[in-house]
Structure 1
């Protein structure tokens, strides 16, 4: 059964988003993934198990909260349109760029997940050896 799983995830940089999408897209049964960085939500549509989606998200190092699991919304029905006359469109010289399409540069100083450093502490050898 196809269902839509909505998760609340902090996506603060392009590198984190890329890791998250790669991890979730590897699951079997995922049909569609939608990321809204402004709201901090991740929507996964398909037959994938919501538990497995949460596990994969946590393996990437993200804190995740389940918002909802349910059937996907039905596509809106469009009424039949009458044929309209074609209007001449003015040429657009000024191209507006979408911030999601613009190239993203990874800045580890602004991403709290990327700032995490793993420190390994080893105990010093206290044993004495006399040769």
Structure 2
């Protein structure tokens, strides 16, 4: 598939129609568009042969020849990766405090010394 853009010097509507009819009859032509004196032809075409045919009708000049743009395919939408789950740091519980009982030297807890 090729796309050729040609500049046509057409003065009247009759010449424009004749140029379009000439290009339509060529083999391999899939679509034609004429805007502002520019003829756009898409298909399996030879731009030189088109210009050769159109020069008999009106002044023709090649502007660009290149590959036809194919319809753009939509890229596959990938699901967005989920952010990793960050668990909050919870420190382990503190051990209970150790109580040290330092009793008095007496064996009798009810003993009391008053001095």
TM-score over 0.5 for the alignment? Answer: yes
Residues of 2 paired with 1:48 and 1:15: CA distance?
24
Corresponding position: 1:4 with 2:3: yes
Name the counterpart of 1:28.
27
Could you give the per-residue CA deviations for residues 16-44 of structure 1, whole angstroms, max 9, x where no partner exists?
111101111111100001100xx321000
Question: RMSD between aligned alpha carbons?
Answer: 1.7
Q: Unpaired segments of 5 or more residues in structure 1?
A: 79-131
Name the counterpart of 1:52.
49
Normalised by the length of structure 2, the TM-score is 0.59
- 1:72 CA drift (Å): 1.1
Q: Unpaired segments of 5 or more residues in structure 2?
A: 75-115
Q: Find the partner of 1:73 among 69, 72, 75.
A: 69
Corresponding residue pairs, total? 75
Residues of 2 paired with 1:54 and 1:42: CA distance?
11
Runs of 4+ more than 6 Å apart: none
Give 1:1-131 correspondences, 5 Å limit: 2-36=1-35, 39-60=36-57, 62-76=58-72
Normalised by the length of structure 1, the TM-score is 0.52
Between Structure 1 and Structure 2, the one with more strand by share is 2
